[in-house]
Structures are given as structure tokens and as C-alpha cells.
Amino acid sequence: MMKLDRQQQTAFVMARLTPPGRGAVAVVGLRGPAAVTALASCFERAAQASVASIPVGRIVFGRWRSRASSAGEEVVVARVADADWEVHCHGGEAAVAAVMEALAARGAMRCDEAAWCQGACQDPLAAAALKAWPNCLTERTSAWMAVQAGGALRRACLEIAAAISAADADKSIERLDTLIQRAPCGLRLAQPWQVALVGRPNAGKSSLINVLVGYERAIVSPIPGTTRDVVVATTAWQGWPLRFADTAGVRETDDGLEAAGIERSFASHAAADLTVHVADLSQPWTSEDDRMMASLSTRPTLIVHNKLDLAATDVESALAGRPPGVAVSAWTGAGLERLLDAVIQRLVPVPPAPEDAIPFSTSIVEALGQTRAFVAAGELARAAARLGELL
């Protein structure tokens, strides 16, 4: 794969913009003065009109034929800018390879996704946002990434650079802190939040993951100790992608296999942004539950009292004497929306505003953190240089 330099941006180049294995549709971008001619020789619009007449911003449907004799493949073509096009085809390897081979045969040079994004804009932060964009799983996180691709983060960094060059340390630190505080959300724009479901055997963790994601992802059984390996599934709530991990029930055991599963439960808990401790409301809260809570206390944890449908009394009485938490029934679905709201409230207590600048990768967050440390130490030249690397 080549690196795209300025001169090559005027040539006809193309890149696969959706990483393999990401969804059912893949995007091939093509750009340059010769792009329209090559496209017209492979793509037949369903509307029988010419490719060149497609206005900027229009999405059209049609058939891709790299040879006149081939049956072709249904694709969608979008004109992103005058000489900038996207071909959306089926996500399998064969369809993408066929589209790219046909374009290469017509003179397109291959470039990689990073070079493509870099060629689309002069702002390296916007280019990084463009590259990360296909990994955003919801409309809300995509919209935030679009704002960064539109230059919000660059503008915020330029303001900080101006404050540093004016030797205004207070303002620089205040602005840097604002950005750094948004980092936890930013790092979850292109990757889901990780939520681990842990608890004692039979509490209903597998039943919960199934009902939360809407399909039978995990095996449910009345036999305690059913789940061994960690089972993950992704869903979204309030526009945030959430990756739940169902884990083995935690208890003392002599069974080596079960013990290995329990070790994985704790590893999932340690790696999670939030742990949901699932307890069985039909069983009394015991000292074993307390011990388990204590072992989880090093990380953010939310308690869920499951099997609300088995409670013989009203919710308040059923929860009396138990630690505060959300009462749910994986069977009836009662309380699930409250649970998901509580998860989001814990993960994102104060979401950024839609137009806010948000640092969205670890390298950007690290650079901001180091810039702040230099400003705090009075090393303004080093701070400016470190921030400058982002710009």
C-alpha cells in the first residue's frame, strides 16, 4: 500500500474505507479527475442516466459490471465531492476485491485508508476522525465523530495553542482539562463501552444478557455453573454502544473448568468500564453476597436484583435489607429500561454537547495530557511543541 502525497491526490486513487469484517456493507472510495470515467465504465445506474450527471451529495443505486458479459453486482454509488466518489458494495471479500480490481485495471492507484483520509483534509485530527468514523456503531457516536472530522477538535487545540503562545497558563490548563475530561466518552465513540455481568451462579446473568440484546446469545439453565467462557454481545442505549459480557457465576469450587471460568469473570470485571453485579431477589442477601461485593469494590459497580417476578411482596419490601440497586425481571422484562438508563448514567454522567470538541483516540488523549503537564511545569515551549504534533 502506498502513502498518498500531494501530487498523487490529483491522480486517480482508491481505497477500501471499511475495514474487513465490519458489517455487511463495504465502502470503496475513489478520487481524482479520472475517477468519473472509470466509474462510468463499470457502473450502470438503475435510472439509466449518466454517471457524470450525478450531483454532489446524491446517492444512486445500480449495477457494477467490470466486464460487459458479467452478471454484475448491486451497488450504491455516492458523489461525495466533485471528484470524490464512494462505491458501497456487499461487505464480503469477493465483492470488494472485484470492485477494486476493476478500478485498478482502469488506472486507479491503491492507497491505504489512512493515506486516503489524510488526502481528504489537511487537518490530521480530522483525518484521524474520518478513519475512525466507520467504527462508530450508532448515529449519536457517528454524529460526534463527524463534528471532529469537521474540525471541532482542531479548533479547540488551536485555541489552546494560542493561549500557550500568549503565556496564559491558566486558560491553557482550563481548556486542556475540559478536553481531557471528555476523553472517557471520546474513547468510546468508535468502540463500545464494556459492561461485565457478574454474580453468583443462577442469579440470571445469561438470561439478562439475552433479554438486553434481544436474542438468545447465551445458554440459560436452572443448573448452577452453566456459563464457563465469557460470552459477549453488543447493543445500544441512548445512542451509546454497549458491549455486555456474561460471565461464569462466582462460587467456591473444586471443578478446575469452573474455576477457570470464574477467573475469567474477574478478568472481565477488571477490564470493564462498569460491572453489573447480578443478584437473585428470590434468595436472601447473604454474607457471601457481601464478600462478592467487597471483591468487586475496586471498580465501578452497579447492583441489579433480578427475578423481581418471584418477589412475594411489593418492590420496596422485596428490596428491604439489600444494598441499593435496580430491581428487574429477565423473564418479564420489568425494570430493564431503568437498568439501561442506570448503566448509561454511571458511564456518562454528563455527556458532551453535540458540537463539542472531543478527543477520540488514546494517542490524542496522551498528547493533551503531556501538553498539560508541560504547561503546569511552566515549560511552555515544550507544551507548544507537543500540542503542535497534533496540528
Ligand X SMILES: Nc1nc2c(ncn2[C@@H]2O[C@H](COP(=O)(O)OP(=O)(O)OP(=O)(O)O)[C@@H](O)[C@H]2O)c(=O)[nH]1
Binding residues for Mg ion, rule: CB under 5 A, are 206, 226-227
Distance CA 58, CA 26 (A): 18
Q: Cβ 205 to ligand X, closest distance in Å?
A: 4
**What residues from 182 to 201 belong to the interface with ligand X (CB under 6 A)?**
201
Q: Where does this chain touch ligand X (CB under 6 A) — which range of 142-150, 158-166, 222-230, 296-304?
A: 222-230
Count of positions (residues) in the chain: 391
Look at residues 370, 379, 371 and name the one whose alpha carbon lies nearest to residue 161.
Answer: 371
Q: Any contact of residue 230 with ligand X (CB under 6 A)?
A: no
Q: Where does this chain touch ligand X (CB under 6 A) — which range of 29-37, 95-103, 169-177, 306-314?
A: 306-314
Place of cell 454522567: 349
Place of cell 454502544: 241
**What residues from 29 to 88 belong to the interface with ligand X (CB under 6 A)?**
none
Q: Are the C-beta atoms of 172 and 160 separated by less than 8 Å?
A: yes
Look at residues 37, 38, 47, 41 and name the one whose alpha carbon lies nearest to residue 70.
Answer: 41
Out of 141, 148, 206, 268, name the contact with ligand X by CB under 6 A. Answer: 206
Nearer to Mg ion, 206 or 301 (CB): 206
Q: Cβ 103 to Mg ion, closest distance in Å?
A: 48
- CA atoms lying within 13 Å on the CB side of residue 170: 0
Out of 329, 335, 343, 365, name the contact with ligand X by CB under 6 A. Answer: 329
Q: Cβ 389 to ligand X, closest distance in Å?
A: 47
Look at residues 192, 180, 325 and name the one whose alpha carbon lies nearest to residue 271.
Answer: 192
Out of 18, 135, 142, 227, name the contact with ligand X by CB under 6 A. Answer: 227
Number of amino acids touching ligand X (CB under 6 A)? 23
Write the binding mask 237 to 256 for ligand X: x where contact by CB under 6 A, - elsewhere. -----------xx-------
Q: Any contact of residue 283 with ligand X (CB under 6 A)?
A: no
DSSP H or E stretch at residue 45 = strand 43-45
Nearer to ligand X, 138 or 331 (CB): 331
167 binds, among ligand X, Mg ion, none (CB under 5 to 8 A by kind): none
Q: Which amino acid is at 221?
A: S
Q: Where does this chain touch ligand X (CB under 6 A) — which range of 33-41, 83-91, 130-138, 220-228?
A: 220-228
Grid coordinates belonging to 150: 469537521
Q: Any contact of residue 261 with ligand X (CB under 6 A)?
A: no
Place of cell 418492590: 315
84 binds, among Mg ion, ligand X, none (CB under 5 to 8 A by kind): none
Nearest-5° Cα angle at 238, 234 to 239: 65
Distance CA 134, CA 29 (A): 13
Q: Any contact of residue 307 with ligand X (CB under 6 A)?
A: yes
Question: What's the distance, CA 341 to chain centroid?
Answer: 19
Grid coordinates belonging to 331: 423473564
- Which residues is 245 bridged to in the sheet? 196, 232
Place of cell 490548563: 173
Q: Any contact of residue 335 with ligand X (CB under 6 A)?
A: no
Q: Cβ 218 to Mg ion, closest distance in Å?
A: 6
Residues forming the site for ligand X (CB under 6 A): 201-207, 220-222, 224-227, 248-249, 306-307, 309-310, 329-331
